[in-house]
Structure 1
Amino acid sequence: MASRPDIMFATCLCARNQAYPNVNHMLAAKKIMRYLKGTPSLGLWYPRKDGFDLTAYSDSDYGGCKIDFKSTCGGCQFLGSRLTKHIRIKYYFIRDCYEKKLIDVLQIGTTTQRADLFTKAFDRLRFLFLLNVLGVKERAEVVSDKELLK
């Protein structure tokens, strides 16, 4: 999932039930596989000429799972305009960095929250928007290898 953040939420949701899977879980896994088969060149691409500003987003959905009411939290970090890592973030680590004045914590509305992709399911339009802002592109949309080598 390192280069495919578009499947992170669905894959993690399926993984919760791997000890006792049922038919619905198998159908969900097949949907993920069909999606992957239909989007083989989709992924994260890193051009050489990009900024080095570090920006992080974090999102939580407390008790949002309609099946078991488990909470989900996730985050993503950008180096320039490119996604570098999407990880689960611990509350105390963020609080400690905030208290040491190493980071600024700002509340961001759901319309501009980039980490939403890691905590919730969306309709197609919102899903495609989030893929775009995360930098998940088709290989054909990325500049040619010759241009990258310049």
Structure 2
Amino acid sequence: MKSCIILVYVDDLILSGDDEDSIKEMKLAMDKAFTIKDLGPLRFFLGIEVARSAKGTMINQRKYALDIVHDTGVENCTPHSFPFPKGVKLSTEEGEMLEDPEMYRRLVGRLLYLNLSRPDLSFSVQQLSQYLSCPRKPHMLAAIHVVKYLKGTIDLGLFYPSDSEHTLQAYSDADWGSCAYSGRSLTGFCIFLGKSLVCWKTKKQKVVSKSSCEAEFRSMSQTTSEIAWVTGIFEDLQHELPKPIPLFCDNKSAEYIAHNPALHDRTKHLKLDCYYIRDNIEDGTISTIHVKSSMQLADLMTKSLPSQQHWFLSSKLGLVFASQLQLEGGV
């Protein structure tokens, strides 16, 4: 069956499908109804640049990133090799207040949008966005550190191979009690369609976890919800994904809880999460798989890593430099 898919953002549209004639007919029908301007093959959309080759498609936000570096005034600086300062613990109370807090808020807002094609910035942006209401100088210095890392990675973007399989797999991780003021943990996850990264997130958990196992288990629950959302999109597109979907976790205790049908004193406060994950395991939607911490790709979403491990995991997420590829288009 032929299909035509339209992605709409206000008055900007992307048309895609499996039949050229159907796409042409849709363009004619829309032009007759609304008068549209056909810009041809996709090269640029809402600040995201798109380039193609026989090997696949790459997206990045090079021009947007260049504007951030220029406006921050660090064009002539020495680039950093990792995005977030090591060992830095930002505080809501320490450091001198900024004279112009709007400058910090604008910068963090731009970095948030840059995260659309740069999952390596996910942890950094999450950390910085916690201090928008009352930014201080240490917060601004950390944000400038991110921009200096950005200067050396302007051409970095996400690559989507053309030979990628239509199978989902997910990685779930947590950093237990990482918030010094609330004691709450960080959830990080990333979801792949074949070799292509399609979803990722860094988010502080809503409640305090009493152990690293609990933090990991809550992260697994949030990742399972995201898997359900992604599979729902594919069902709307009338494409069935193979199940069960592997969910990689590096905490064996959390995996045991997911499979154990008995609730006890240590897990009764996790009852809803336990039931939710277990139901998804029993109906064949997901299957939990243990992965070594060194190969936990979601680790990049939950903490600041040494430079070598940061770049190793970034490459596994599909982040590459445009100079490494021979592409046609805007990159």
TM-score (normalised: structure 2): 0.41
1:136 equivalent to 2:319? Answer yes
* Runs ≥4 residues deviating over 4 A: none
1:12 alignment counterpart: 126
Q: Structure 1 residues 118, 46: CA separation in 2 closer, same or farther (over 3 Å shift)?
A: same
Take 2:182 and 2:310, find their aligned partners in 1: how far apart are those partners?
A: 23
Secondary structure at 1:45's aligned position in 2?
strand
Identity of aligned residues (%): 34
Take 1:93 and 1:140, find their aligned partners in 2: how far apart are those partners?
A: 33
2:117 alignment counterpart: 3
1:91 equivalent to 2:274? Answer no
Q: Which one of 266, 277, 284 corresponds to residue 101 of structure 1?
A: 284
Take 1:141 and 1:54, find their aligned partners in 2: how far apart are those partners?
A: 26
1:36 alignment counterpart: 150
2:187 alignment counterpart: 73
Task: Give 1 or 2 for the bigger CA radius of gyration.
Answer: 2
Ranges in structure 1 where 5+ consecutive residues have no aligned partner: none
1:57 equivalent to 2:165? Answer no
Take 1:9 and 1:92, find their aligned partners in 2: how far apart are those partners?
A: 17
- TM-aligned CA deviation for residue 80 of structure 1: 1.4
1:126 equivalent to 2:256? Answer no
2:6 alignment counterpart: none
Take 1:135 and 1:141, find their aligned partners in 2: how far apart are those partners?
A: 12
Take 2:124 and 2:182, find their aligned partners in 1: how far apart are those partners?
A: 15
**Contact kept? 1:9, 1:121, Cα under 8 Å:** yes
CA RMSD of aligned residues (A): 2.1
Ranges in structure 2 where 5+ consecutive residues have no aligned partner: 1-114, 204-218, 225-276
Q: Structure 1 residues 92, 126: CA separation in 2 closer, same or farther (over 3 Å shift)?
A: closer
Bigger drift between 59-68 and 98-107 goes to 59-68
**Contact kept? 2:175, 2:185, Cα under 8 Å:** yes
AA matched with 2:171:
Y
Q: Which one of 159, 172, 192 corresponds to residue 45 of structure 1?
A: 159
Bigger drift between 129-138 and 93-102 goes to 93-102
**Contact kept? 1:62, 1:72, Cα under 8 Å:** yes
Q: Structure 1 residues 109, 47: CA separation in 2 closer, same or farther (over 3 Å shift)?
A: closer
Take 1:72 and 1:104, find their aligned partners in 2: how far apart are those partners?
A: 22
TM-score (normalised: structure 1): 0.86
Bigger drift between 116-125 and 94-103 goes to 94-103
AA matched with 1:144:
L
Take 1:27 and 1:76, find their aligned partners in 2: how far apart are those partners?
A: 28
Take 1:138 and 1:73, find their aligned partners in 2: how far apart are those partners?
A: 27
Q: Deviations over 1:39-58 (max 9, x none)?
A: 11101021322222211101
Secondary structure at 2:288's aligned position in 1?
coil
Bigger drift between 105-114 and 116-125 goes to 105-114
Q: Structure 1 residues 97, 50: CA separation in 2 closer, same or farther (over 3 Å shift)?
A: same
Count of residue pairs the alignment pairs up: 146
Q: Structure 1 residues 46, 61: CA separation in 2 closer, same or farther (over 3 Å shift)?
A: same
